[in-house]
Structure 1
Amino acid sequence: MTSIGLEEIEGVVQGHRDGHGFVSPDDGSPDIYLPPNEMRAVLHRDHVKVRVVRHDKRGRPEGRVVEIVQRPPHPIIGRLLHEGGIWLVAPEDKRYGQDVLIPKQGIGEAKAGEVVVVELTEPPALYGQPIGRVREVLGDIDDAGMEIEIAVRKYGVPHEFSAPAMAEARALPDTVRPADKAGRVDLTDVPLCTIDGEDARDFDDAVYCEPAVVTGRGKKPNGWRLLVAIADVSHYVKTNSPIDVDAYDRATSVYFPRRVIPMLPEKLSNGLCSLNPDVDRLCMVCDMLVTANGDVHAYQFYPAVMHSHARFTYTEVAAILANTRGPEAAKRKARVKDLENLHDVFRALLKARHARGAVDFDTVETQIIADESGRIERIEPRTRNDAHRLIEECMLAANVSSADYILGSKHAGLFRVHEGPTPEKMELLRAYLKALGLGLSISDEPHPSEFQRIAEATKDRPDAEQIHMMLLRSMSQAIYTPTNSGHFGLGYEAYTHFTSPIRRYPDLLVHRVIKAILQDRKYQLPDLPTPGEAHEKLTRRLKKQSASRRRDEGAPPKRLSEELLGWEAAGLHCSANERRAEEASRDVESWLKCKYMKEHLGEVFNGTVTAVTTFGLFVTLNELHVEGLVHITELGGEYFRFDEVRQELRGERTGIRYIIGSKVRVQVSRVDLDGRKIDFRMVSENDELPARPPRDRAGSAAAEGRAGNTAKPAKSAKSAKAGGRAARPPRADGEGPSRQAMSPIQALKASLKKATGRAKKSSKPRKTRR
């Protein structure tokens, strides 16, 4: 527990849409709660010093800000409003908690109602709001693609290449030149082919397989030769070049519905590096011999030049493998045998996967289908067939071989590490499994096969989905790091990413390391720029997770060499940008789903409970594949108690239980576009439903506290009511005193008058002692 005293703790402010906030300490210690009055003079993402002043009844620390160490020059995105003669911007990211005043001379060409990017000129104070000026006008909120324009700025995703990078890209050739082929193995006669989705535009991997004699001296094939050819991005993107600097800054491509923000300029990602059919392309090859049991018996890496003989889609390959005499196979007659060989090696690799006990849960992902104007037509689940899994297993084999090659050479590099569950998560999982009476559990040092065994043993139970969800939640997130500790989920002692250098920077680094080893030299990681402010919180979060894990294991902090420190920084940067890309994509998808559901207000659907919390149920509609919240006060007029071990809400009077997987019937009651929230209400066959609920307002039904509802919430929901407005269960918050709120229009006018005519303020952060 953090003690009360004079100690000052540094950390980053994480705002909450309800006005309070948290400080995430840099040292990885538990978060410190900031009540609303402490948030008045700070902003979300400020780096501050705090002092713990008290603990709540659950032992959680509450802090007071004593110094603002750094205020990152981050832009704020929101809608420009004109109210009572005052111009202001309401931030789109509600974690900022305060509107930004805009003096008239700071409006520029913007018009009321438009979405703008604001630069702060005056920070907030205890009794004064932040002041800024419009830096960029994005357009109207209903413009096609506006949700993506907002997200890339909200999460700080680089979306424009630098002028030097574009100039370098333009200077590159359009085709592979004869000089580029020097010193490479010629594979142009090998019928390598690509297998990707229908809408794929960049092809970074190609495969080929043939029967081969792997072990013994006989002539009869007893295994396969598997070639995985990967686009040789490192040939064109040199270390420290302008394109390389931009690629490192992005670290990954970001995928949105109908739009991709690539890591590399289009000339490379869709052209010169993409393994397009019927053209020569440079590649790095992992050439493997695979046994009948699916073990990689031997491998070698080499640079090559290839010529893709076909561009397949997953759907097409699945159809051919299902019927080798069907119409799809007839169109690709020359390649059918090659696909059959790939299918054979896939089955062998799958056998090895089962033997090592790798975790293999089937999860449902959705995709948004939109028309040309951007309007959503439907949301449907992504179907995963044998073609998807075939490519996945081939890529896994190449990635494992890459990790083994780097380890064997004792060269530094980035590994993809997925550690096992923490002791805390293991205890929670054990308690859950015990409460279900399954007779199954996990050991103190679990192997992935234990998780897979539980999944297999429960797959036919009615609550299988709930059990598998709990197994998944006990896992850690995978990260990039130079310290190899294996991949728990896949059951590998060493694993890395080699197969997607067009869209992932770690893969590009792995290619460079492998090339250096082949040339009997050492790859020197360049001096990398400091990660952008926009994702510092993600880097800190990963550091915090690592520090927490070391504390749980009782291990002292590891001392890394100067070289490994550089690789560690690169790994943190790439991991943080990966999380940033995921959050930005998820934010856009949530916004689009909310917009889609506004057309279905008042309609009733069948759904499935996908999460149970202290404040209600998250339900996914079976037909539309959209998730929303049924607040606990919508469950009926009785007392519901949350059981964390069983992950259920149980009514004390009726004994009704809601668990993950429960089938329910709900009505779409409210949609909050700004908050990315969808609210449902539980209905039964006897309910009399209005044709359409009252017109949607800005706040969600949960945010409005369900005024007029006499249902008695569970005690456990008391402290989580604010959290009930989040799309997912947030951190628990505490209680704290608050100062009197500022008067509205008078305070705005006073602040604006004070700011008007003032000399242009520097955006340099000020140190403020309180």
Structure 2
Amino acid sequence: MKRKNDSQNSRNNSSATPDWQARDPNYHAEQGRYEDPVPSRALILQTLVDHEGPLNVDDLIGHFKLTKLNQQSALEKRLGAMIRDGQVVQNRRGAFGPVAQMNAIAGVVQAHRDGFGFLCRDEGGPDIFLPPRQMRSLMNGDRVLVRITGTDFKGRPEGSLVEVLERGSREVVGRMHVDQGIAYVIPDNPRVQQDLLIPQDASMGAKHGQMVVAEIVAPPGNRTLPVGKVLEILGDHLAPGMEIEAAVRAHSLPNEFPDNVLREAERIPDTVQPQQIKGRVDLRDLPLMTIDGADSRDFDDAVYAKTMRKGPFGTGGGWTLWVAIADVAAYVTPDSELDHEAAARGNSVYFPQRAIPMLPEKLSNGLCSLNPNVDRLCMVCEMRVKPDGEVAKSTFFEAVMNSKARLVYEDVAAILENPNGPEAAKVPHAVPHLQVLKDLFEAFYKAREKRGAIDFETTETKIVFGDERKIDRIVPVKRNIAHRLIEECMVAANVESAKRVAKMKIAAPYRVHEKPDAMKVQALREFLTERGLKLGGSDRPETQDYAAMLARTKGRPDQPLIQTVMLRSLMQARYSAENLGHFGLALTHYSHFTSPIRRYPDLLLHRALKHLIHKKTPKDFAYSVDAIEKNGAHCSMTERRADEATRDVTTWLKCEYMSHHVGEEHDGLVSGIAPFGLFIELAGLYVEGLVHVSQLKNDYYKFEARHHRLIGERSGTAYNLGDTVKVKVVRVNLDERKIDLELIQSKAPGQRSSVVKDASTESRPFPSKKKRRSR
């Protein structure tokens, strides 16, 4: 590194007393950590901001009058760390400047399977498009500095690479290929764009076609592929369960608990101890019950409702509702080994026939699971609900409970439909309590409709396995009254917990769902206008406007299409330390209180509520707003990571299933449209495949993003979202997770697709998958 002579002299000769200590806001903290403190990051940044230009190391040493060699060395190391963290940039002359003033933006690379990528900015804001030439030396997950160079043809900011700050995951999961003596790994994760070259002495003897885990030993360059070595051979490509093993490693999901975590869990007694009950409210005689799926193993919520009598003048009435949640915070304490591991995982991950829990099984399926007929510690939200479904008041307290029944959704729905049926006969003591809960649910649902919450009609599916974990069939999962009953009880408790922490001004995570982006709303309005519909509200419509639109479209043949476009206009829910409300549920306050076994933000919220229950002041809480915000961003990431991993597994399983159906013809529905073709959902199979645009014969087709359709240039024949078609399964590629279809017939027999004249020719990719948004 080249250094100025006058700066070198200041390094060796300056003996004046430095004054930076008085100006450094973090000096006392630095003094407590180091024998010879150096200027903090905050002071270095402020110095660089105030200076008229970049400064090199010697400039800074002279400016701060650092005479000791160990201080000079420590300053250089701190500057290196600041570069790595994206706080400063070093130019070609070796001088440092703040990232913003050097016209650089720090962020994480998100690669796309088609060769381009995006920079997700650290400070938020619109993603920056990275064209393929900028992605040659980058991989998914790399932290980099990028400089905005202009806009792409879609109006997005476009950037060029300044510097790689930190490489992302060093491991790649993929399928080994050996071709003419050259071995390489084709990554299983479609976001990893480059194949990984494997030298002959680094293959561990992996055979062609086997799934392996490889470590990157040399990153990609502008003209070179990355080089790696095999760390682990997972097994044959089509071995049962291999898709999950690959997804776990491809998405870096923590799937094994460290020994120190397991040892800490083992030290916890297997049952509730008498000293733990002291000071808690005893609810063991209250007929609380759990209602979950038939294959659930961890029960973190139980409910009970009691009808309240009306007064002599028609006052009163309504219900008292108890929502009891497993008291995970009683066992997982801050800064413990269990806590660090749960925070890192962020949430449990659920694959078909396998789960990766956030907590060890002793807690997730044992002490923290509200199993029937055993004592369990719990956090309770007790609510007084008025006849109109509004919560009049609520209170939170620590309790001990004993669940009186473990019920499943389907049985509860059958009991509510026929209180004298066979399902009711199995649990007669629970029937009257379920009928009270049904009455309460109807009141809650009316309140929900009144406030205008959005209620999209989506179809979820379940994979049914046969022998050797091969898919037997894919079936729709129908939401019944029991699902909705529990959902409304949980929403009520989530709302009350958010109101409580907001009122007491204590740092806690909120589950926020912000209003739709103005540009997406404008595109939605244009789409609806073409169908003779008008979305209420201004540029920022309210939830009630969305709900009213959904109500108006019921019964229309294009209702599924309209719902899909509306759903895609919404933001994604996330965690935040700031209460921004929940747009989809039409709520001013919302949090996640009800699943601390499988979501870390719920555990943090429980800790905040416990702090208040014990009459402690909010300012004494162990977590700052910044800490909550940082954790919320992390848990939002782990949630997306889990969604991507489960989607990868499901897609692989569906492709494997469809590999046995090549050549078959099926009816289908156009579920997505992109410039390169039509995504078709096969009727009755709940599997999606692609009709490539090259398969649409006798014309050249262009994509119209505004109208969500492909249209022929000469014929005007248009393919729209929601069109019914007949297709043939022609090819299945398991490596790329693609199902290729061939269009046989569009619309009903004897009809043809609609013809549109003078259509515009906008070209913008549109996501093909229906994105499930977590509430």
> TM class by shorter-chain length?
0.7 to 0.9
Q: Check the 8 A contact 1:433/1:441 in 2, yes or no.
A: no
What is the one-letter code of the residue matched to 1:163? D
Q: Counterparts in 2 of 1:41-60, with a 5 A limit? A: 41-51=137-147
Partner secondary structure for residue 463 of structure 2: strand
1:491 correspondence with 2:611: no
* CA distance in 1 between partners of 2:153 and 2:646 (Å): 38
After alignment, is 161-170 or 669-678 more displaced?
A: 669-678
Q: Give the direction of change, closer, same or farther, for the CA distance of 1:70–1:457 in structure 2 (3 Å limit).
A: same
Partner secondary structure for residue 683 of structure 1: strand
Task: Quote the residue 2:379 is aligned against.
Answer: 284
Q: Check the 8 A contact 1:169/1:243 in 2, yes or no.
A: yes
What is the one-letter code of the residue matched to 2:564? M
1:104 correspondence with 2:104: no
Flag the structure with more relative contact order, 1 or 2, with Cα contacts below 8 A and sequence separation at least 6: 1
* CA distance in 2 between partners of 1:646 and 1:19 (Å): 27
Q: Give the direction of change, closer, same or farther, for the CA distance of 1:125–1:494 in structure 2 (3 Å limit).
A: same
Partner secondary structure for residue 443 of structure 1: coil
Partner secondary structure for residue 684 of structure 1: strand
Q: Check the 8 A contact 1:319/1:328 in 2, yes or no.
A: yes
Task: Quote the residue 2:667 is aligned against.
Answer: 606
Task: Quote the residue 1:130 is aligned against.
Answer: 226
Partner secondary structure for residue 271 of structure 2: coil
1:571 correspondence with 2:632: yes
Task: Quote the residue 1:711 is aligned against.
Answer: none
What is the one-letter code of the residue matched to 1:571? G
1:361 correspondence with 2:456: yes
Q: How far is the alpha carbon of 1:213 from its aligned partner? A: 3.7
Q: Check the 8 A contact 2:171/2:215 in 1, yes or no.
A: yes
1:482 correspondence with 2:543: no
Task: Quote the residue 1:421 is aligned against.
Answer: 516
* CA distance in 1 between partners of 2:265 and 2:102 (Å): 55
Partner secondary structure for residue 637 of structure 1: coil
* CA distance in 2 between partners of 1:468 and 1:172 (Å): 49
* CA distance in 2 between partners of 1:359 and 1:71 (Å): 41
Task: Quote the residue 1:193 is aligned against.
Answer: 289
Q: Check the 8 A contact 2:667/2:727 in 1, yes or no.
A: yes
2:429 to 316, 329, 334: 334
Q: How far is the alpha carbon of 1:385 from its aligned partner? A: 0.3
What is the one-letter code of the residue matched to 2:671? T
Q: How far is the alpha carbon of 1:29 from its aligned partner? A: 5.6
Q: Check the 8 A contact 1:414/1:567 in 2, yes or no.
A: yes
Q: Check the 8 A contact 1:273/1:281 in 2, yes or no.
A: yes
Task: Quote the residue 2:486 is aligned against.
Answer: 391
Deviations 1:206-225 (A, max 9, x none): 111111147x5669961111
Deviations 1:352-378 (A, max 9, x none): 111111111111111111125210000
What is the one-letter code of the residue matched to 2:637? A
Q: Check the 8 A contact 2:724/2:747 in 1, yes or no.
A: no
1:659 correspondence with 2:714: no
1:270 correspondence with 2:331: no
* CA distance in 2 between partners of 1:356 and 1:78 (Å): 49
Task: Quote the residue 1:617 is aligned against.
Answer: 678
1:585 correspondence with 2:646: yes
The alignment's TM-score, normalised by the length of structure 1, stands at 0.81
Q: Check the 8 A contact 1:486/1:495 in 2, yes or no.
A: yes
Q: Check the 8 A contact 2:668/2:680 in 1, yes or no.
A: yes
Task: Quote the residue 2:172 is aligned against.
Answer: 76
Q: Counterparts in 2 of 1:22-61, with a 5 A limit? A: 22-28=118-124, 30-51=126-147
Task: Quote the residue 2:351 is aligned against.
Answer: 256
* CA distance in 1 between partners of 2:255 and 2:697 (Å): 48
What is the one-letter code of the residue matched to 1:354? E
Query: Tell me, which stretches of 5 or more residues in structure 2 are unaligned?
Result: 1-100, 749-758
The alignment's TM-score, normalised by the length of structure 2, stands at 0.81
Partner secondary structure for residue 660 of structure 2: helix
Partner secondary structure for residue 95 of structure 1: coil
* CA distance in 2 between partners of 1:587 and 1:277 (Å): 35
Q: Check the 8 A contact 1:240/1:526 in 2, yes or no.
A: no
* CA distance in 2 between partners of 1:686 and 1:186 (Å): 63
Deviations 1:479-522 (A, max 9, x none): 11111011111111101111001101111111111111010114
Q: Counterparts in 2 of 1:569-718, with a 5 A limit? A: 569-651=630-712, 653-684=714-745
Q: How far is the alpha carbon of 1:184 from its aligned partner? A: 1.0
Partner secondary structure for residue 596 of structure 2: coil
Q: Check the 8 A contact 1:613/1:729 in 2, yes or no.
A: no
Task: Quote the residue 2:43 is aligned against.
Answer: none
Q: Check the 8 A contact 2:723/2:746 in 1, yes or no.
A: no
Task: Quote the residue 1:763 is aligned against.
Answer: none
* CA distance in 1 between partners of 2:223 and 2:573 (Å): 44
Q: Check the 8 A contact 2:129/2:152 in 1, yes or no.
A: no
1:149 correspondence with 2:235: no
Q: How far is the alpha carbon of 1:172 from its aligned partner? A: 1.3
Task: Quote the residue 1:16 is aligned against.
Answer: 112
Deviations 1:98-119 (A, max 9, x none): 2222233322353443211111
Task: Quote the residue 1:690 is aligned against.
Answer: none
Q: Check the 8 A contact 1:525/1:566 in 2, yes or no.
A: no
Task: Quote the residue 1:240 is aligned against.
Answer: 335
Partner secondary structure for residue 157 of structure 1: coil
Task: Quote the residue 2:89 is aligned against.
Answer: none
Q: How far is the alpha carbon of 1:132 from its aligned partner? A: 1.9
What is the one-letter code of the residue matched to 1:371? G
* CA distance in 2 between partners of 1:222 and 1:27 (Å): 50
* CA distance in 2 between partners of 1:729 and 1:258 (Å): 23
After alignment, is 476-485 or 51-60 more displaced?
A: 51-60
Q: Give the direction of change, closer, same or farther, for the CA distance of 1:441–1:633 in structure 2 (3 Å limit).
A: farther
2:399 to 301, 304, 310: 304
Q: How far is the alpha carbon of 1:716 from its aligned partner? A: 5.1
* CA distance in 1 between partners of 2:159 and 2:760 (Å): 25
1:121 to 212, 217, 221: 217
Q: Give the direction of change, closer, same or farther, for the CA distance of 1:405–1:621 in structure 2 (3 Å limit).
A: same
Q: How far is the alpha carbon of 1:612 from its aligned partner? A: 2.5
Q: Check the 8 A contact 2:664/2:728 in 1, yes or no.
A: yes
* CA distance in 2 between partners of 1:715 and 1:626 (Å): 31
What is the one-letter code of the residue matched to 2:358? M
Q: How far is the alpha carbon of 1:52 from its aligned partner? A: 5.2
After alignment, is 612-621 or 487-496 more displaced?
A: 612-621
Partner secondary structure for residue 252 of structure 1: coil
Q: How far is the alpha carbon of 1:94 from its aligned partner? A: 3.8
* CA distance in 2 between partners of 1:56 and 1:221 (Å): 62
Q: How far is the alpha carbon of 1:653 from its aligned partner? A: 4.8
Alignment RMSD, CA only? Answer: 2.7
* CA distance in 1 between partners of 2:567 and 2:443 (Å): 26
* CA distance in 2 between partners of 1:313 and 1:456 (Å): 31
1:376 to 444, 463, 471: 471
Equivalent residue pairs, number: 661
Deviations 1:266-312 (A, max 9, x none): 01010111011111111111111111100111211111111111111
Q: Give the direction of change, closer, same or farther, for the CA distance of 1:420–1:685 in structure 2 (3 Å limit).
A: closer
Deviations 1:38-79 (A, max 9, x none): 433332332233445666555556554343222235211112
Partner secondary structure for residue 329 of structure 2: helix
Partner secondary structure for residue 93 of structure 1: coil
Q: Check the 8 A contact 1:430/1:442 in 2, yes or no.
A: no
Partner secondary structure for residue 345 of structure 1: helix
Identity %: 49
1:350 correspondence with 2:445: yes
Partner secondary structure for residue 516 of structure 2: coil
Q: How far is the alpha carbon of 1:419 from its aligned partner? A: 1.0
What is the one-letter code of the residue matched to 1:251? G
* CA distance in 2 between partners of 1:103 and 1:641 (Å): 44
* CA distance in 1 between partners of 2:579 and 2:746 (Å): 56
